[in-house]
Amino acid sequence: MESTDARPLRPDDAAGLTHLSAEAGWNQTALDWRLILDHGAGEGIFAADGQPLASACRVPLTRHSEWVCMVLVTPGARRRGYATRLMARQIAAIEAAGRVPGLDATELGRPVYEKLGFRPLFALSRYRATRPRWPVDSAPGIRPLTADDLPALAAYDAAATGGDRAFLLDHLLRRLPQAAWVASEDGQIRGYALGRDGLKASSIGPLVADTPAIAIALAAAAGLAIAGPTVIDVPDAAAGLVAMLEAAGFVRERGFTRMVKGTDAALDRTGALYALAGPEFG
Ligand SMILES: CC(C)(COP(=O)(O)OP(=O)(O)OC[C@H]1O[C@@H](n2cnc3c(N)ncnc32)[C@H](O)[C@@H]1OP(=O)(O)O)[C@@H](O)C(=O)NCCC(=O)NCCS
């Protein structure tokens, strides 16, 4: 028997929840669940033995929006309305705080979100390579990111993407420091890349830059520091970066749709965003 009551998720649920995401073939580790539950919130439905059956969470993204993420239902409990119910509660909490809910939907998630009033903004794709062949040309103005850069980095990110996510930048710098790079010119930040280890692959992102050339150089610098399978989630509009990734051996694995319920101008365009922190972080 299971209880169909939802209860708030706690940081110490992270290890159990990792089974739910791993079962769906996702890349998150217990550290990612921890980060989401430490800085955001979520609810879950659990079986009598404590195994999680369903989850939905939210994390801060911009000044005006919160990101809905980790909407997962174990295959044996699908089509019972769990995702819709848990989502509705996340949406209500976000809207009650005067914010706009946004998300990056998988193909399975999109019909659930359309019914809940989300509209599509733009398309993104996940690219994967087992052993990428990155271009090794050194690019001027690119150097490793350090903790001293974090205040200026948060300000750059806020101006370039509307992001209000200093907690995430700080976490990723500590999580995979070798993948953290910054581009600067005359002391001004012109772009940055961060990365993260994962269950099945390491990922590059966020990747934010003033120009496509800077984004390409930063992606290569971050990528060269990562050994083994690598993924990166790129807006389809970033054609130059996609061409470089394909030349480096990346293959498109699946698509996502950025969706929003309401309006947040910061989410409407890809602009300086060349790679997501991941669909769960925007
Ligand atoms: C997407 C997912 C969370 C849906 O969970 P769920 O609890 O089965 O969804 P619900 O029962 O609330 O479905 C609500 C409605 O969405 C639509 N829907 C859900 N799954 C669908 C599917 N596979 N195909 C078409 N429509 C679907 C249906 O209209 C459904 O209503 P109905 O059952 O009355 O017809 C689940 O399939 C899942 O965990 N998938 C893997 C992870 C994933 O992709 N998560 C989404 C991340 S954005």
Render pLDDT for 143-166 as a digit per residue (tens, 0 to 9): 999 999 999 999 999 999 999 999
Atom 21, ligand 1: which residue's CA is nearest?
A: 108
Atom nearest to 72 CA in ligand 1: 39
Atom nearest to 87 CA in ligand 1: 12
Domain identity same for 196 and 244: yes
> Which two three-digit tokens encode residue 20?
């739910």
Number of domains forming the structure of the chain: 2
Residue among 78, 104, 259 whose CB has most ligand 1 atoms within 8 A, to mutate: 78
* Cis status, amide bond into 177, omega within 30 of 0: no
Domain identity same for 14 and 94: yes
pLDDT exceeds 60 at position 113: yes
Compute and round to an integer the Cα radius of gyration of the chain: 18
Q: How confident is the model at residue 3 (pLDDT cuts 50, 70, 90)?
A: low
SS3 label, residue 258 = strand
Domain identity same for 139 and 70: no
DSSP of 136-166, one letter per residue? Answer: ----TTEEE--GGGHHHHHHHHHHHH-B--H
Atom 35, ligand 1: which residue's CA is nearest?
A: 79
CATH number for the domain spanning 228: value is 3.40.630.90
Domain identity same for 65 and 96: yes
Domain identity same for 155 and 70: no
Pick the last residue of a domain from 82, 99, 120.
120
Domain identity same for 35 and 140: no
8 Å CB contact between 70 and 83: no
Q: How confident is the model at residue 227 (pLDDT cuts 50, 70, 90)?
A: confident
Encode pLDDT of 20-69 as tens digits: 999 999 999 999 999 999 999 999 999 999 999 999 999 999 999 999 99
Domain identity same for 264 and 148: yes
Encode pLDDT of 234-279 as tens digits: 999 999 999 999 999 999 999 999 999 999 988 887 889 999 999 9
* 215 falls within a domain: yes
Domain identity same for 259 and 143: yes
* 1 falls within a domain: no
Host domain of residue 227: 126-275
Domain identity same for 132 and 264: yes
Q: Give just the sign of the alpha carbon dihedral 124, 201, 8, 73.
A: positive
Q: What is the mean pLDDT of residues 214-235?
A: 96
Count the neighbouring beta carbons within 10 Å of the beta carbon of residue 208.
Answer: 28
Encode pLDDT of 132-143 as tens digits: 999 887 778 999
Domain identity same for 107 and 153: no
CATH number for the domain spanning 100: value is 3.40.630.30
> Which two three-digit tokens encode residue 230?
């690598």
Model confidence, pTM: 0.94
> Which two three-digit tokens encode residue 44?
């879950």
- Binding-site residues, ligand 1, Cβ < 6 A: 24, 71-73, 78-84, 105-106, 108-109, 111-112, 115
Domain identity same for 111 and 243: no
